[in-house]
Amino acid sequence: MADRCPTRRTVIAPERAFRFPESGRSTVWDVSDQNIMFTPEFSTTDATEHTLIANHYVETEDALNLSVAFVRARILFGRQHVPLPTRFVAHYDVRGQRVVDDLEGRLDKALGDVAEVRVKRS
């Protein structure tokens, strides 16, 4: 009989979890592994601004929620690896998608506390 490997479980502080506002569900990413590198798509030469590009499918509610959760987790992870003070910009490229009219407002509400949000529609 093969030995079973116990499941590794990591406890994450509640403030590091992202709660989906519409459904009340929450999800947690374990960002405690210090051997992982943070690489934004663009950074200023003085490393005070980092731009993350989100070229995600966001036409459905579930897809938008997953995208927001991923971008938020990526920013929170990046904060641990860049010098402070720093600024993050989340740039959503939604060209060719049928997205809701208030996408900018929804993204700003969901990510505005951690990043400036820009949306490229066309």
Tokens representing 76 are: 């929170």
Question: What is the reported pLDDT for 69?
Answer: 95
Report d(CA 20, CA 29) in Å as an integer.
14
Domain boundaries, the chain: 38-120
pLDDT of the residue at 25: 53
Residue 120: alpha-carbon gap to chain centroid: 17
**Residue 6, pLDDT above cutoff 50:** no
**φ/ψ of residue 62, rounded to 5:** -65, -40
Q: Of the ranges 19-23, 50-54, 55-59, 118-122, which one carries the lowest mean pLDDT score?
A: 19-23
Show the tokens assigned to 120: 């490229």
Are 49 and 87 within 8 A, CB to CB?
Answer: yes
Q: What are phi and psi of 53, to 5 degrees?
A: -95, 125
Say how far apart CA 109 and CA 79 lie, in whole Å: 19
Nearest Cα neighbor of 122 from 92, 87, 86 is: 92
The predicted-structure confidence for 47-83, as pLDDT tens digits, reads as follows 899 999 999 999 999 999 999 999 999 999 999 888 8
- Write the Ramachandran bin of 47: left for phi over 0, alpha for psi from -120 to 50, otherwise beta: left
